[in-house]
């Protein structure tokens, strides 16, 4: 998740920008950059990796007197993490930093290229600065050129732009991505993509609204809204706690991470979907040569993603899969065959057991792929191929958005392989791609749903155990729901295939046994319903999650009526995550740092 800072004033701008970026490190990034404009012109520095690298590169640079500056930390989505792809992006006389996605960038890029503009990065952002300069060349005032540029771009953005044509101004715009403007009594002005970057530097801020844009200099701020009406400036005071600022108004990182799933899933999809094709630039033409089957190896939540994948891969790609707990696999003398593609899945890329199985597979000469959220992690460095999940940094120990993005990647990969193996035709793939595009909207948390889950949660604080049950991909989701609850509530919970309850666990059924029943309309509804009825008949307490009303349930959480089971999967995922979190909060537990657990398990 990228971070943005901006500064206009007379203090040393480099330090202010880099300090601001440091406060945004919690969002995760793989490169950083700053551009500072003084009378003498621009000074720009970019570096891969941590901010210390940027500091080293700019050691000998200092500003004297007035300057304007913009800075950025980049979490690669569009184009690899390289210095060229790092922001700020350069035109002939201007620089831009941007968070979000310019959806129509390809069309704009083609247009500009045919006009003779040369692009040097693979990012969507670069079109912003070239488009601005294109209009500027047509003899428009800088602000008019900025407005013209804004009228052409589509998607989500927070933008800061500086140009030598107006050396004392910063142009800004916000739509869909966060941006805050701050001032202090020394006439300094600041921008940040979160409070955290501004705390300690200014006291009063404006949280820009979607559609807001304008420019500022040392004296004035001109702010317009989406209807192009000049706005009266209404400042609010800035919070003082950095930690709570990093949580961006949420009570816990886990809550923030649940809420941002729709955003990060969009990042996971970006550049990887055309109308009829899945695009993985990370994979080459030889990727599937000689491969007959796939083994997944992982732990915890990542194991549940793998299990979900096995249903999708066999259904769509018609390829045999096996799913292994890495901690078991590494000690059971497994038979390894070079026709097996070995896929490890890991949020951190550092989990000791999973890493060890990757080494075993490599030593045995297997082709390896890692699906990971952390670039340059040990697994990414070791595997033959990497697909990044792009969830942004995940702080809550209980994984949420990493799971969501892993499943999205795996679903896309199953379709990618299906197309290579011709197990689905173009029409069928196009249909799935349409559904994939709907996933972000299905993971938006609405207030009503959250409030309902909050109210329900008070009935689930005791009992002698929880069973999360589901069929097909809803079985791994049931496992994941149970794991979430265990981790942060310390209540006993199991995930079980619905159809297996009658083979033993149903003996536990009584009113103190809580069953969270996943009842999708689009996947084995009648079968699952019968299984839940069997439990209901034995007086188990049932909380059903379904688009279809279910009168045998004690509690019912309704999800929307869709035409595809994977859309139901993602909506239910949000419900089980929120339910676990609300139960944990009511029990007074530390949601983000549950007892006995660590975020990255680097011991066996
Ligand atoms: O970083 P990894 O995905 O390899 O981590 C694997 C597990 O340790 C992890 O998923 C763990 O189960 C989480 N705490 C689940 O919320």
Q: pLDDT tens digits, residue range 33-49?
A: 999 999 989 999 999 98
Going by pLDDT thresholds of 50, 70 and 90, the confidence category of residue 240 is confident
Question: Token pair of 93, please?
Answer: 């006389």
φ and ψ at 68, to 5 degrees? Answer: -125, 145
pLDDT tens by residue, 447-503 = 999 999 999 999 999 878 999 999 999 999 999 999 999 999 999 999 999 999 989
CB neighbours of residue 406 within 10 Å = 29
Residue whose CA is closest, atom 8 of ligand 1? 300
- Per-residue pLDDT averaged across 343-353, rounded? 94
533 alpha carbon to ligand 1 midpoint, in Å?
33
- What distance in Å separates the CA atoms of residue 539 and residue 537, rounded to the nearest whole number? 5
With a cut of 90, say whether residue 78 has pLDDT above it.
Answer: no
CA proximity to 308, closest of 475, 181, 452: 475
Q: Output the CATH code of domain 3-246.
A: 3.60.20.10
Question: Token pair of 180, please?
Answer: 């805050």
Residue with tokens 């009378």: 39
pLDDT tens by residue, 107-149 = 999 999 999 999 999 889 999 999 999 999 987 899 999 999 9
Count of positions (residues) in the chain: 604
Pocket test for ligand 1, best of 28, 253, 258, 299 (most atoms within 8 A of CB): 299
Going by pLDDT thresholds of 50, 70 and 90, the confidence category of residue 29 is confident
Beta strands (DSSP E) in 185-335 are 189-192, 204-207, 213-216, 221-224, 236-237, 293-298, 320-325
Q: Output the CATH code of domain 445-586.
A: 3.40.50.10490
Residue 279 is predicted with a pLDDT of 94
Residue 194 is predicted with a pLDDT of 84
Pocket test for ligand 1, best of 302, 305, 401 (most atoms within 8 A of CB): 302
Determine the Cα angle at 199 with ends 197 and 200, to 5°.
120
Question: Token pair of 106, please?
Answer: 């390809």
CB neighbours of residue 154 within 10 Å = 13
299 assigned to active site: no
Question: Token pair of 385, please?
Answer: 């191929």
599 assigned to active site: yes
pLDDT tens by residue, 273-283 = 999 999 999 99
Determine the Cα angle at 594 with ends 591 and 600, to 5°.
110
User: pLDDT averaged over the chain?
Assistant: 93
pLDDT tens by residue, 175-185 = 988 899 999 98
Any idea where the domains of the chain sit in the sequence?
Answer: 3-246, 254-442, 445-586
- Partners of 472 in the beta sheet? none
Topology of the domain comprising 254-442: Rossmann fold (3.40.50)
Residue 272 is predicted with a pLDDT of 93
- Per-residue pLDDT averaged across 198-209, rounded? 91
Residue whose CA is closest, atom 9 of ligand 1? 300
Pocket test for ligand 1, best of 301, 377, 397, 483 (most atoms within 8 A of CB): 301
With a cut of 80, say whether residue 189 has pLDDT above it.
Answer: yes
Report residues whose beta carbon is within 6 angstroms of any ligand 1 atom.
299-302, 346-348, 351, 354, 397-399, 483, 487, 597, 600-601
- What distance in Å separates the CA atoms of residue 476 and residue 470, rounded to the nearest whole number? 8
Q: Tell how many helices (H) and how many strands (E) occur in the chain.
A: 18, 24
pLDDT tens by residue, 414-428 = 999 999 999 999 999
Residue 245 is predicted with a pLDDT of 74
Which ligand 1 atom is nearest residue 599's CA?
Answer: 14
Residue 350 and residue 379 in contact, taking contact as beta carbons nearer than 8 Å: yes
User: How many CA within 13 A on the CB side of residue 328?
Assistant: 9
Q: Where are the alpha helices (H) located in 58-141, listed in sequence order? A: 105-114, 126-137
Residue whose CA is closest, atom 4 of ligand 1? 346
Going by pLDDT thresholds of 50, 70 and 90, the confidence category of residue 1 is low
Residue 196 is predicted with a pLDDT of 82
């Amino acid at each position: 998740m990228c971070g943005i800072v901006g500064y206009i004033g007379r203090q040393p701008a480099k330090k202010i920008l880099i300090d601001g970026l440091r406060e945004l490190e919690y969002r995760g990034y793989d490169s950083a950059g700053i551009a500072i404009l003084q009378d003498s012109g621009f000074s720009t520095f970019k570096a891969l990796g941590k901010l210390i690298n940027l500091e080293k590169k700019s050691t000998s640079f200092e500003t004297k007197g007035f300057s304007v500056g913009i800075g950025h930390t980049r979490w690669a989505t569009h184009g690899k993490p390289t210095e060229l792809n790092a922001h700020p992006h350069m035109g002939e006389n201007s620089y831009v930093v941007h968070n979000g996605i310019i959806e129509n960038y390809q069309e704009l890029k083609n247009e500009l290229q045919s006009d003779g503009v040369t692009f040097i990065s693979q990012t969507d952002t670069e079109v912003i600065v070239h488009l601005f300069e294109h209009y500027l060349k047509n003899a428009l005032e800088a602000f008019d050129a900025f407005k013209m540029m804004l009228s052409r771009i589509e998607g989500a953005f927070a933008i800061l732009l500086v140009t030598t044509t107006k050396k004392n101004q910063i142009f800004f715009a916000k739509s869909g991505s966060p941006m805050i403007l701050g001032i202090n009594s020394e006439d300094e002005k600041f921008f940040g993509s979160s409070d955290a970057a501004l705390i300690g530097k200014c006291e009063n801020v404006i949280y820009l609204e979607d559609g807001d844009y304008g420019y500022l200099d040392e004296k004035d701020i001109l702010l317009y809204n989406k209807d192009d009406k000049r706005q009266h400036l209404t400042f609010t005071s800035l919070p003082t706690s950095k930690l709570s600022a990093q949580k961006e108004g949420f009570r816990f990182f886990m809550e923030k991470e649940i809420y941002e799933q729709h955003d990060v899933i969009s990042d996971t999809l970006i550049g990887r979907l055309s109308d009829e094709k899945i695009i993985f630039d990370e994979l080459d033409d030889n990727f599937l040569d000689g491969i007959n089957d796939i083994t997944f190896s992982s732990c915890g939540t990542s194991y549940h993603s793998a299990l979900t994948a096995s249903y999708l891969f066999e259904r769509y790609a018609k390829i045999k899969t096996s799913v292994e707990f890495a901690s078991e696999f590494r000690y059971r003398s497994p038979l390894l065959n070079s026709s097996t593609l070995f896929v490890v899945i890991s949020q951190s890329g550092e989990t000791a057991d999973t890493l060890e199985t990757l080494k075993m597979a490599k030593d045995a000469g297997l082709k390896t792929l890692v699906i990971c959220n952390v670039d340059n992690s040990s697994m990414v460095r070791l595997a033959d191929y990497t697909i990044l999940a792009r969830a942004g940094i995940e702080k809550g120990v209980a994984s949420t958005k990493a799971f969501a993005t892993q499943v999205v990647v795996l679903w896309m990969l199953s379709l990618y392989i299906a197309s290579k193996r011709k197990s689905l035709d173009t029409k069928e793939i196009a249909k799935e791609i349409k559904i994939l595009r709907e996933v972000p909207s299905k993971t938006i948390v609405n207030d009503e749903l959250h409030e309902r889950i909050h109210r329900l949660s008070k009935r689930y604080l005791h009992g002698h155990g929880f069973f999360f049950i589901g069929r097909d991909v809803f079985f791994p989701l049931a496992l994941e729901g149970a794991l979430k609850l265990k981790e942060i509530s310390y209540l006993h919970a199991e995930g079980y295939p619905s159809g297996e309850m009658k083979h033993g666990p149903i003996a536990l059924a009584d009113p103190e046994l809580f069953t969270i029943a996943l009842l999708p309309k689009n996947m084995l509804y009648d079968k699952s319903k019968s299984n839940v009825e069997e439990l209901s008949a034995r007086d188990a307490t049932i909380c059903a999650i379904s688009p279809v009303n279910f009168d045998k349930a004690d509690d019912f959480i309704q999800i929307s009526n869709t035409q595809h089971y994977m859309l139901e999967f993602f909506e239910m995922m949000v419900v089980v995550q929120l339910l676990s979190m609300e139960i944990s909060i009511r029990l007074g537990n530390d949601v983000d740092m549950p007892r006995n657990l660590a975020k990255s398990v680097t011991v066996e």
